[in-house]
Copies of this chain bind each other. A is one copy, B any other.
Amino acid sequence: MPQFMDIHHGMQGITADQLDEAHKADLAIEADEQVHFERAWADPATGTVYCLSEAPSAEAVQRVHERAGHKADEIHPVPLSVW
């Protein structure tokens, strides 16, 4: 399944609880689109949130984020990864 890194801007001041809540809202509905949000990271200072997902397409990622109330500003395929 393709992997995607999506980015949200304008989230200045986001708290750990808010990030957790937003992520859970994605997880609650992601199966409808065969998407899985694996991890998310946030910087409250610059208001940036990064989400790593597996999904059939960038559009599927966006549909989940939109329905959960937080549309992504950028969605980038990341076909290569290393540990």
Partner-B contacts on A (CB < 8 A): 3, 5, 14-16, 19-20, 23, 38-46, 48, 50, 52, 76-83
- Interface SS majority for chain A: strand
Query: Given that A45-B77, A76-B48, A77-B45 are known contacts, is A82 also in contact with B5, CB under 8 Å in the complex?
Result: no
Contact A5 B50 (CB under 8 A): yes
Q: In the docked arrangement, what's the CA distance between A9 and B44, Å?
A: 23
Are A82 and B46 in contact, with the CB atoms below 8 A? no
A76 to chain B: closest CB distance in Å? 5
Query: Given A5-B50, A50-B5, are A43 and B79 neighbors across the interface (CB < 8 Å)?
Result: yes
Which A-B residue pairs are the 3 nearest by beta carbons? A41-B78, A42-B80, A23-B82
